[in-house]
Each structure stands twice: as structure tokens, then as C-alpha cells.
Amino acid sequence: MSILFKNVNLTESYGYVGTVNVLVEDKKITYIGKEMPEFTADKVVEGNGNLLLPAFYNAHCHSAMTLFRGFGDDLPLQRWLNEKVFPAEERLNDERVELGTRLAIAEMIRNGVVSFSDMYFFLNASAKAVLESGMKANLSRSIVSFDKGADFTKDSRVREAMDNFKTWHGAGDGRIKIDMSIHAEYTNVEGCCRYLGQLARECGVGMQIHLSETLSEHEECIARYGKTPTRFFLDAGVLDVPTTAAHCVYVDDDDIAIMAEKGVTAAHNPVSNLKLGSGVMKYKKMKEAGVNIALGTDGVASNNRLSVLRELQYAALIHKGVNCDAAATCAADMIRAATRNGAISQGRFDSGEIAVGMRADLILLDMGSINNIPSYNFESTVAYSASESDVLMTLCDGRILYENGTYTSLDEELLRHDAKRVISHYFD
């Protein structure tokens, strides 16, 4: 399949003045230029000067939690977890996780997201939903461990993670990757973390963790081990594998230096951190230190949306306000965090940019919608005025997954029907 985008704009970073034509062949971008390529494409999209942007990468999610949207808002973290989330998660099963993941995927595709990193359980169900959707995902079975003396090689959760790896890693022509995952320092013993790091190294996969999300989590680790969670993971050998660390709200200067040196991605989840009252990540410091900062939505239960565009806009704004510095962030950096940096965090190095040879993960954004008139600068338009409803088209690996209100890989009516049935009887 080949698609020619005629007369589209690219953001200022790409250096073109005026519209260009972009050709996609199979999974990749094969031409960008002012001239029309000498090639008869299967499909021609008239761009009308709309913006062709790299599609969004969601660097941190618990996709099946979409079932719990708005389930216990405005509550402190511990009450939210104990009274709302944990009892609801007790009732999860394969069918429900698959449905929750499908709901998440529908929302993400509609919002221009083509790939997400996921920490959860019932991974087979999630993987099935990803496979059929045409999206990409780095899925991981999130591990908790509380017994120091246990034989981790025999732990049922660790075995499940290894089974997941064997079954799904590379499926869908590489769309699905399996990462290892340590839920967090405070929910694991050191030996298990070390063992999971070793497994990730042996399998050649990445690692997904929660890191210093709340002040109490950060301080309790220091009280327990005399070191921060970042140093705890460093000392356990975890950070020797490509790691995506979610939240990082309370990392200190030393932690930031470690993250930069080890190439740890900070999956910044601004909305979730605000909503749960966790705090605001030290974006400026981390950016200056050279940390790869990507953007994540976290699960819907603490957001309550799955829009990387929204995270991009919150991040662009909140760090200016909290630092009292309008120059603390810039639109181009935030777009990069939402696209290229997320692709890097997933080990998808041929994705996240519009360039010949790169994967065709693309969205077409409506520059004619009333909230985008006038537009003096496309990067500014994305960061400060665009809306999810401006996403006209979403392409993943060169395949159109969404176009003008219609999904190509999802049966929306069936999904709504299934959602109604499962959700209305969730606690029966």
C-alpha cells in the first residue's frame, strides 16, 4: 500500500517553507519534497495545507484501567487505591482486560496515538487487542514481590512474564514488544529487581518501572535503604537495561545525573501527577541534564483521558507556571517529547520523525478548525491551540487506522455494545 500526501505542512523544525508532498510506501516514508514524486500511489490524500505531524507515542499507560474512568475522583491517593482501584482490579479477568484495552486503543487512535507502553496483568488479553487493532505497544507484566527469601526463578508472576515474552515478543511483524516490568521499589524486594534486570538483559528487552512518583514513596526508600529509589535500581543493575521510568516527580539532582548517564527515559505524566496530588516533575532540570523525556498518560483512572496531545499541552504550560518562567518550555521540545522521545523509549529507533526511511507513524491535523485560526506557527498551534478533534487521520506503520471519524481496524459499535454490557454488570 502506498499513500501520497499532497500539499501538507510540516512543523518549523523540518525547515520547509510552504507545503510539501510526502510519499509513504508500505511501512515507511520514501519521499518528502516540493516536487510531486514520480510514482502512482494507491491512495492520494489532498492535504489542503493541513499539518502532517509524527504520530504520538504514549510512554506510560495501564490501558485496561480505561474500565475505571472517573471511578473515584477527587480522593487522596491511598483512599483512591484502597477503596476504589484495588476492589475493582480484584474483579478483572481476561475478557474485561481485553475490553478495557480495546476501549483504550479506540481512544488513543482517535487522539493520534500509535504506540503505547503498558504495565499491567492479563497480558495475553491486552496483546490480543493490540494485535487486532494495528497499533504498536510495548507490553509488560508488572511484577510485585514481598518475600526476600523467595526463589524468583519459580515465582508465578515472573514465569508469566517470561511466557508473555515467548508468546508475544515481535508479534504483528514487530508491532508488539514485551518488556520486563518492576512495579516500583516500594512494592518489590531487591533480589527480585536484580533478577528481573538480569532477565531483561538476557532477553534483550526494555524495562518499565514506576519511579519516585510521590514524596512518601521517595522518602520511605531513603529511610529503608539509605538511598533513593533511582540509586536502589542502579545498584540492583536494573538501569543497565533500557529503562522507562514513569513519573520521576521527586528524583533529586544525583538521580537526574544517573538517569542522564544511563539513558533512562523519564515518562512524564503531568495530568496524572496533578490529579493524584503527586506534584510536578522537575522538567527544566531534567531537560538541561539531557534526560530523554517522553510523555505518558498513565491509566485512565488517574487522568481521565488517553491523549498524549493533552499531556503535551499540560506539560508545555505547567512548567512555565510553576517556574514562573514563560520560557521554561518550548513547543518544539514538547512535540519531540510526545513523538520521537517516546519512540526512543520503546526502542523503536526508526520511528517518531518525518524523514525518508523512517516508519510512517503519522497524523494529519486540521489547521482549518476554528480554534486554530489564525496560526502563525505550527508548533505553537500543536502545543497551545490544537484539539484532539483536529486529528483527521492516524497512520501506524503506513496503515491508516483512523480517517475522518472512522476506524479501519475497530468495530466501534461492537465495542460500545460490549462496554455497556460489561460495565453495567461490573460489580454484580
Site residues (vs a copy of itself, CB under 8 A): 67, 69-71, 73-77, 80, 103, 106-107, 110-111, 215, 271, 273-280, 300, 303-307, 314, 317-318, 320-331, 368, 370-377, 380-381, 383-385, 387-389, 412, 416, 419, 423
The nearer residue to a copy of itself, 69 or 262, going by C-beta atoms, is: 69
Beta-bridge partners for 54:
362
Phi, psi dihedrals of residue 5, rounded to the nearest 5°: -95, 115
Give the cell for residue 348.
523503536
CA–CA dist 212, 248 (Å, integer) = 5
Using DSSP, state whether 146 is helix, strand or coil. Answer: coil
Q: How far is the CB of 277 from a copy of itself (least distance, A)?
A: 4
Q: How far is the CB of 190 from a copy of itself (least distance, A)?
A: 28
The nearer residue to a copy of itself, 101 or 181, going by C-beta atoms, is: 101
Q: How far is the CB of 179 from a copy of itself (least distance, A)?
A: 27
Question: Does residue 336 contact residue 354 with C-beta atoms inside 8 Å?
Answer: no
Residue 403 burial class via C-beta count within 10 angstroms: exposed 0-12, middle 13-18, buried 19 and up: middle
The nearer residue to a copy of itself, 200 or 318, going by C-beta atoms, is: 318
Cα-Cα-Cα-Cα dihedral sign, residues 73, 269, 139, 390: positive
CA–CA dist 141, 183 (Å, integer) = 9
Q: How far is the CB of 98 from a copy of itself (least distance, A)?
A: 15
CA–CA dist 214, 223 (Å, integer) = 15
Using DSSP, state whether 164 is helix, strand or coil. Answer: helix
Cβ atoms < 10 Å from Cβ of 395 = 26
- Of the candidates 302, 289, 285, 291, the one whose C-alpha atom is nearest the C-alpha of residue 267 is 291
Cα–Cα separations (whole angstroms), residue 167 to 124, 163, 172, 176, 282: 9, 6, 12, 10, 38
Question: Does residue 58 contact residue 115 with C-beta atoms inside 8 Å?
Answer: yes
The nearer residue to a copy of itself, 120 or 168, going by C-beta atoms, is: 120
The nearer residue to a copy of itself, 164 or 307, going by C-beta atoms, is: 307
Cβ atoms < 10 Å from Cβ of 226 = 9
Question: Does residue 37 contact residue 70 with C-beta atoms inside 8 Å?
Answer: no
Q: How far is the CB of 318 from a copy of itself (least distance, A)?
A: 6
The nearer residue to a copy of itself, 162 or 415, going by C-beta atoms, is: 415
CA–CA dist 122, 114 (Å, integer) = 21
The nearer residue to a copy of itself, 109 or 362, going by C-beta atoms, is: 109
Q: How far is the CB of 305 from a copy of itself (least distance, A)?
A: 5
The nearer residue to a copy of itself, 167 or 389, going by C-beta atoms, is: 389
Beta-bridge partners for 393:
364, 403
The nearer residue to a copy of itself, 16 or 384, going by C-beta atoms, is: 384
Q: How far is the CB of 276 from a copy of itself (least distance, A)?
A: 5
Q: How far is the CB of 376 from a copy of itself (least distance, A)?
A: 5
The nearer residue to a copy of itself, 213 or 255, going by C-beta atoms, is: 213
Measured in residues, the chain has a length of 428
The nearer residue to a copy of itself, 127 or 300, going by C-beta atoms, is: 300
CA–CA dist 23, 8 (Å, integer) = 11
What percent of the chain is helix, strand and coil (3-state, nearest 5)? 45, 20, 35
Question: Does residue 35 contact residue 18 with C-beta atoms inside 8 Å?
Answer: no
Q: How far is the CB of 203 from a copy of itself (least distance, A)?
A: 35
Q: How far is the CB of 425 from a copy of itself (least distance, A)?
A: 12
Q: How far is the CB of 428 from a copy of itself (least distance, A)?
A: 15
CA–CA dist 141, 163 (Å, integer) = 10
